[in-house]
Amino acid sequence: MDNLRAVVLGLGLGRQRALGYLQNNGVDLCAVCDVDQNRVNDFLKEHPEVHGYVDYQTMLTAEKPDIVNVSTPDWMHLQHAQLALQHNCHVLLEKPMVRTLADAEELIAAVEASSRTLMVGQNYRRTPIAVLAKQLISEGRLGTLFYAVAETFQNKRRQFAKSTWYASAEYPRAALLGTGIHAVDLLRWLIGEVEEAVAYSNHRAYVEFPGDDFTMVMYRFANGVIGRAGVAYGSVLPRGEGGLTLQLYGSDGTLHNDRFYVGENGQGEWEHGEMPPVKNPFWQEVDHFIECLQAGKSPIVDVYEAARNVAACLAGIEAAKTGKPVKPMRF
Ligand SMILES: NC(=O)c1ccc[n+]([C@@H]2O[C@H](COP(=O)([O-])OP(=O)(O)OC[C@H]3O[C@@H](n4cnc5c(N)ncnc54)[C@H](O)[C@@H]3O)[C@@H](O)[C@H]2O)c1
């Protein structure tokens, strides 16, 4: 079988994706594109065999790729993914897939009409503690779960000063949908479907951010588990801390990040999960996408799964705004 031909649109995180395609033997990275010529030039300096573009449409027409990796700002995702599908391409899209329920419905319709595959990157599923949590649940070692926590405490000031669209009032991007979606996605992956959200948020730490920079949501899941997902953009922590806190509480055991306790009457100690060094999660996602395309399988986060994540986040945001419980739209 001939190698698939991929192009990458947007060279912020997209640079990592591009390197991901370069290291995968089943795909050829043909071209990259960014409206910022400097970002294109920087990439081509190290990879002169790859073609560079500053215009998306020109790249699609010239390269006729099989895959478009869309790594542009959130508010461009719908339009850029739709154009790729119209050109008969499979799409690997960054989270959040889209920003509204109407856009989610529109993108689902476009994917269904295209018979192409769309995957959304949710790389937290590939962190060692998330993999450990999934394994403990699937082995039933924690018993019947009753409570789960996924929180991400970040200091986004420096990143948002560099990529100003993140904190622009023109393209509002709520913290829960932007980064909190990782925590929400983990809870949904580990626990199941969300039935209802209640939430609080405030705007006290990162006051330049044009919206609430801290949100905490309680979800009631269809299976009865209660989950708490949280995101902060203005927390101040030593480097490398706060990225993800994951806790699971079950009738037989408890997980706190990389350690878990399965014991009776307080006997025994915490055990530590194996935390082997993992391959770059953005590359792992590229590998998974290529494998799915080659095997004709659905990716782990397909367009419907990504729409459910968006719906769960939007329910949390609406609940924080109104002070009332909100049920997410079903996809
Ligand atoms: N999964 C994760 O952990 C993770 C991490 C970072 C970013 N992201 C997502 O990736 C996306 C991009 O974020 P980023 O941090 O790379 O942003 P960024 O601003 O660093 O990069 C976006 C790039 O897109 C380019 N661009 C904008 N419009 C374009 C167009 N019409 N054609 C071609 N290029 C265009 C910009 O010039 C810029 O270089 C966002 O949706 C974000 O949520 C996900």
Residue 321 CA, chain-centre distance (Å), reads: 23
Same domain, 39 and 18: yes
Name which residue sits closest to atom 5 of ligand 1, judged by CA. 13
Query: Dihedral (C-alpha) 94, 221, 300, 88: value to the nearest 10 degrees?
Result: -60
In a domain, 155, yes or no: yes
Do 102 and 220 share a domain, yes or no? Answer: no
Residue nearest atom 40 of ligand 1, based on CA coordinates: 73
Given ligand 1 and candidates 71, 92, 125, 181, which is best to mutate, with the most ligand atoms within 8 Å of its CB? 71
Q: What CATH number is associated with residue 242?
A: 3.30.360.10
Q: Are residues 144 and 72 in the same domain?
A: no
140-154, 203-217, 218-232, 257-271: which range is least confident on average? 257-271
What average pLDDT does the segment 124-133 reach? 95
Whether ligand 1 lies within 6 angstroms of the CB of 36 is answered as yes
> Which of 148, 95, 149, 112 shows the shortest CA–CA distance to 313?
95
Name the residue with the closest Cα to ligand 1, atom 25: 10
| Confidence (pLDDT) at 178 | 97
Q: Which residues of 124-152 are buried (b: 16+ CB within 10 A; e: fewer)?
A: bbbbbbbbbbeebbeeeebeebeebbbbb
What region, left, alpha or beta, does residue 4 occupy, with left being phi > 0 and alpha being psi -120 to 50 degrees?
beta
76 CA distance to ligand 1 centroid (A)?
9
Residue 41 sits in a domain whose CATH number is 3.40.50.720
Is 74 touching ligand 1 by the criterion CB < 6 Å? yes
CB pairs under 8 A, 24+ apart, for 293-302? 293/4, 293/66, 293/67, 293/90, 293/117, 294/1, 294/4, 294/26, 298/117, 299/117, 299/119, 300/119, 300/122, 300/125, 301/119, 301/120, 301/121, 301/122, 301/125, 301/185, 302/117, 302/118, 302/119, 302/120
Which residues are CB-contacts of 46 (< 8 A; sequence separation ≥ 6)?
Answer: none
Give a yes or no: residue 77 inside a domain: yes
The span from the CA of 126 to the CA of 16, in Å, is 15
Buried b (16+ CB within 10 A) or exposed e, 26-36: ebbbbbbbbee
pLDDT for res 312:
98
| 166 & 314 share domain | yes
Cα four-point dihedral sign 75, 80, 85, 91: negative
Tell me whether residue 194 is in a domain.
yes
Q: Are 136 and 142 in contact (CB under 8 A)?
A: yes
> Is 11 close to ligand 1, i.e. is its CB under 6 Å away?
yes
Q: What is the pLDDT of residue 263?
A: 84
One domain for residues 139 and 104: no
With a 6 Å cutoff on the Cβ, whether 35 touches ligand 1 is yes
Query: Do residues 65 and 198 share a domain?
Result: no
Question: Does residue 14 lie in a domain region?
Answer: yes
Q: Residue 172: which pLDDT band, with cuts at 50, 70 and 90?
A: confident
Query: What is the CB neighbour count within 10 angstroms for residue 299?
Result: 21
- Which tokens go with 114? 């295209």
**Token pair for 15:** 């640079």
37 and 155 belong to one structural domain: no
> Same domain, yes or no, for 211 and 268?
yes
DSSP 169: T
pLDDT above 80 for 46: yes
What is the model's pLDDT at position 330?
97
Inter-residue contact 96 to 178 (CB < 8 Å): yes
User: In this predicted model, what pLDDT tens digit does every residue of 183-216 receive, in sequence order?
Assistant: 999 999 999 999 999 999 999 999 999 999 999 9
Look at the chain and report how many structural domains it folds into.
Answer: 2
Q: Does ligand 1 lie within 6 Å of residue 123's CB atom?
A: yes
Per DSSP, what are the bridge partners of residue 146?
none
pTM to 2 decimal places: 0.97
Whether residue 219 lies inside any domain: the answer is: yes
User: Is 331 within the bounds of a domain?
Assistant: no
157 and 33 together in one domain: no
Tell me: pLDDT of 300 over 80: yes
291 and 211 within one domain:
no
Report yes or no on 330 lying in a domain.
Answer: no
Mean pLDDT, the chain, rounded, equals: 96
Q: Which two tokens stand for residue 57?
A: 């449409």
Residue 291 lies inside a defined structural domain of this protein: yes
Task: Name the residue range of residue 175's domain.
Answer: 124-279+310-322
Q: 32 and 103: one domain?
A: yes
Beta bridge partners of 32: 8, 52
pLDDT in tens, 322-331: 999 999 999 9
The pLDDT assigned to 265 comes to 74
Pair (176, 101) in one structural domain: no
pLDDT grade for 242, boundaries at 50, 70 and 90: confident
